[in-house]
């Protein structure tokens, strides 16, 4: 009886949040899947055929760009976290977190100014190297990856460093006593023991990269495009919701395996909150 | 030996320079642009500086009104998001819940899947009920999207407060609500404030929902910034960018100690 009452009160407490989530997230999400199968008022696969015909290159491009950006981000995060696990360096600790809360749109604008052919970076490099001119990196895939890495690294590093730091010193001291170098400890002790957190950092970075719209519009090349940009064009210029939603569903499918791992892992940890 | 340490010092200086260039460099560019009147290649800094664009932003006009609109949207979003998140967070922290794993899945889902298709379809739904091109449409979308991280920040806060304190109050005859209201809630205020600031900053900088739901009549500051930047109006875009960025940087310095990576996934977009 008491337990039943407790279940009841608990449910009532989360009800307002649940209503918001179901009405404004779950419903549009389900709608996006449904709309992707509707073309000219009828149930069909026409939208998907169109997507594969027009956008197959862009889909591959989005996945590759996201994987490259995520790989570089993780490499940097592990490097920074590994270094800070052994040595404290206040400068680096402030620097790696600096881009943390800067909105993606502003990152896009800042990177456009920084990486443009006559931007801040080339301005400095041409002076140091004493050469006439350098090609700009904005509006290229390198600039796009650069912008993603810049904004994703603080967040991924925070997750990885948190895991590294919470690992008991005893493991590290044991390895040190056996004569392991720092980098050997990072690769043979820290990374294997913190694999779940590194996986979470990987998933969140990958999902955030592949679903970002503003950074690709601001710094990405005109063609090929990330699929988010194509979604926007489909809605804004062609009023073509079917194809936009088919692209959306494909983006869900791309992250599906990772998303399920993430949800299971976080649910096992009760939302990532250790009691 | 001395030669070695000089080499080491030099290497460290080079490293500091490279890190500064890579991390701070992009921000320096927009600060320079916000004061530039004339700036032609290959001059490293603008040939002429001006305060004109800063003055323009803060005088009555399109930019100022979009900033005020963003501010209003963000404040209402904070109110809604936090007031829905507090009871739910308390339930996640303290109660047994029906179908708990399903609920956890649901409340974590927005972090695990791309959100853009959801915003696009939300814009479509809002179009049918008159909330498209309406600030309340943006507020509702922001409440939904920010709920996920405000909920987890506040849940973590409530969890960190020892249950014993509440139980002691209850043993002395306080009701469960009174125990929450006089003990857990006041102790949780720092976490709630952190969550609120977080939601505020996110809402101020959010583009996707504001763009699809507000367009074309409602222009929040990020949407206006995007239009200015796309139209190569570099000065105005840079001024708005700095105005939106400074609070975030300040917040980062303040909150540094409390940063818990797992709960800030929603930032950016």
B18 touches chain A (CB under 8 A): no
B31 touches chain A (CB under 8 A): no
Structure-model confidence comparison of residues A143 and A118, the more confident one: A143
How far does B3 lie from chain A, in Å, by closest CA?
A: 23
Work out the percent of chain B whose per-residue pLDDT is above 90.
33
CB–CB of A25 and B42 under 8 A? no
Chain A residues within 8 A of B33 when measuring between CB atoms? 113
Chain A residues within 8 A of B154 when measuring between CB atoms? none
CB–CB of B95 and A244 under 8 A? no
Per-residue pLDDT at B257: 62
Substitution target from A11, A12, A28, A125 for chain B, most B beta carbons within 10 A: A28
CB–CB of A123 and B42 under 8 A? yes
CB–CB of A14 and B88 under 8 A? yes
Chain B residues within 8 A of A208 when measuring between CB atoms? 265, 268-269
Per-residue pLDDT at A275: 39
Substitution target from B29, B89, B210 for chain A, most A beta carbons within 10 A: B29
List, in sequence order, every residue forming a beta bridge with B49; answer none if it has no partner: B36
Q: How confident is the model at residue B165 (pLDDT cuts 50, 70, 90)?
A: confident
pLDDT digits (tens, 9 = 90+) for B123-154: 999 999 988 989 999 999 999 999 988 998 88
Q: Which residue of B88, B96, B269 is in closest CB contact with A104?
A: B269
The three-state (H, E, C) secondary structure of chain B, written as one string: CHHHHHHHHHHHHHHHHHHHHHHHHHHHHHHHHHCEEECCCCCCCCCEECCHHHHHHHCCCHHHHHHHHHHHHHHHHHHHHHHHHHHHHHHHHHCCCCCHHHHHHHHHHHHHCCCHHHHHHHHHHHHHCCCCCCHHHHHHHHHHHHHHHHHHHHHHHHHCCCHHHHHHHHHCCCCHHHHHHHHHHHHHHHHHHHHHHHHHHHHHHCCHHHHHHHCCCCCCHHHHHHHHHHCCCHHHHHHHHHHHHHHHHHHHHHHHHHCCHHHCCCCCC
Taking a C-beta distance cutoff of 8 angstroms, is the pair A138, A219 a contact?
yes
Judged against a pLDDT cut of 60, whether residue B266 lies above it is answered with no
Judged against a pLDDT cut of 70, whether residue B217 lies above it is answered with yes
How far does B237 lie from chain A, in Å, by closest CA?
A: 8
* Chain A residue whose CA is closest to B161: A275
How far does A206 lie from chain B, in Å, by closest CA?
A: 10
Range of weakest confidence among A126-135, B98-107, B175-184: A126-135
- The model's pTM is 0.91
* Chain B residue whose CA is closest to A260: B112
Dihedral Cα A46, A48, A51, A56, nearest 10 deg: -140
* Chain B residue whose CA is closest to A133: B42
Q: Please give the DSSP secondary-structure letter assigned to residue A129.
A: H
pLDDT digits (tens, 9 = 90+) for A65-117: 999 999 999 999 999 999 998 888 888 888 888 888 889 999 999 998 888 87
Range of weakest confidence among A132-136, B148-152, B168-172, B193-197: A132-136
Chain A residues within 8 A of B103 when measuring between CB atoms? 14, 18
Per-residue pLDDT at B268: 41
Substitution target from A30, A47, A102 for chain B, most B beta carbons within 10 A: A102
Judged against a pLDDT cut of 70, whether residue B259 lies above it is answered with no
Query: Would strands A38-39 and A42-43 be described as parallel, antiparallel, or unpaired?
Result: antiparallel
């Amino acid at each position: 009886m008491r337990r039943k009452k407790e279940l009841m009160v608990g449910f009532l407490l989360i009800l307002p949040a649940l209503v918001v989530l179901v009405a404004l997230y779950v419903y549009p999400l389900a709608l996006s899947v449904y709309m992707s199968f509707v073309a000219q008022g009828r149930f069909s696969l026409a939208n998907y055929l169109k997507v594969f015909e027009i956008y197959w290159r862009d889909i591959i491009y989005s996945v590759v760009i996201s994987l490259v950006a995520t790989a570089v981000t993780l490499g940097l995060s592990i490097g920074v976290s590994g270094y800070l696990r052994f040595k404290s360096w206040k400068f680096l600790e402030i620097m790696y977190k600096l881009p943390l809360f800067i909105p993606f749109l502003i990152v896009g604008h800042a990177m456009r100014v920084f990486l443009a052919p006559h931007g801040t970076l080339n301005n400095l490099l041409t002076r140091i190297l004493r050469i006439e001119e350098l090609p700009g990196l904005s509006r290229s895939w390198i600039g796009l990856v650069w912008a993603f890495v810049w904004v994703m690294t603080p967040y991924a590093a925070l997750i990885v460093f948190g895991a590294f730091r919470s690992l008991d010193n005893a493991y590290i001291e044991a390895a040190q006593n056996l004569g392991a170098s720092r980098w050997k400890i990072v690769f043979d002790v820290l990374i294997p023991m913190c694999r779940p957190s590194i996986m979470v950092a990987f998933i969140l970075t990958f999902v955030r990269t592949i679903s970002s719209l503003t950074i690709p519009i601001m710094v990405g090349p005109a063609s090929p495009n990330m699929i988010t940009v194509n979604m926007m064009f489909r809605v804004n210029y062609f009023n073509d919701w079917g194809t936009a939603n088919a692209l959306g569903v494909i983006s869900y499918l791309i992250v599906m395996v990772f998303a399920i791992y993430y949800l299971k892992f976080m649910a096992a940890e009760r939302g990532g909150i250790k009691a | 030996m001395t030669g070695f340490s000089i080499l080491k010092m030099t290497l460290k200086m080079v490293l500091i320079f490279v890190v500064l260039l890579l991390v701070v460099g992009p921000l320096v560019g927009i600060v320079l642009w916000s004061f530039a009147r004339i700036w032609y290649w290959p001059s490293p800094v603008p040939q002429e500086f001006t305060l004109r664009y800063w003055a323009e932003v803060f005088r009555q006009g399109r930019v100022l009104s979009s900033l005020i609109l963003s501010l209003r949207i963000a404040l209402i979003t904070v109110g809604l998001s936090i007031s829905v998140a507090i009871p739910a967070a308390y339930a996640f922290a303290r109660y047994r819940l029906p179908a708990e794993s399903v609920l956890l899945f649901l409340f974590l889902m927005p972090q695990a899947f791309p959100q853009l298709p959801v915003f696009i379809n939300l814009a479509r739904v809002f179009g049918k009920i008159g909330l498209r091109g309406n600030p309340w449409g943006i507020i509702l979308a922001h409440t939904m999207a920010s709920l996920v991280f405000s909920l987890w920040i506040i849940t973590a806060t409530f969890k960190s407060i020892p249950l014993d304190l509440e139980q002691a109050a209850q043993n002395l005859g306080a009701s469960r609500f009174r125990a929450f209201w006089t003990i857990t809630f006041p102790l949780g205020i720092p976490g709630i404030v952190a969550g609120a600031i977080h939601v505020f900053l996110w809402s101020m900088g959010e583009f996707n929902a504001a763009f699809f739901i507000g367009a074309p009549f409602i222009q929040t500051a990020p949407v206006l910034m995007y239009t200015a930047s796309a139209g190569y109006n570099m000065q105005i875009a840079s001024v708005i960018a700095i105005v939106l960025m400074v609070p975030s940087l300040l917040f980062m310095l303040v909150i540094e100690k409390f940063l818990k990576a797992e709960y800030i996934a929603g930032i950016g977009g």
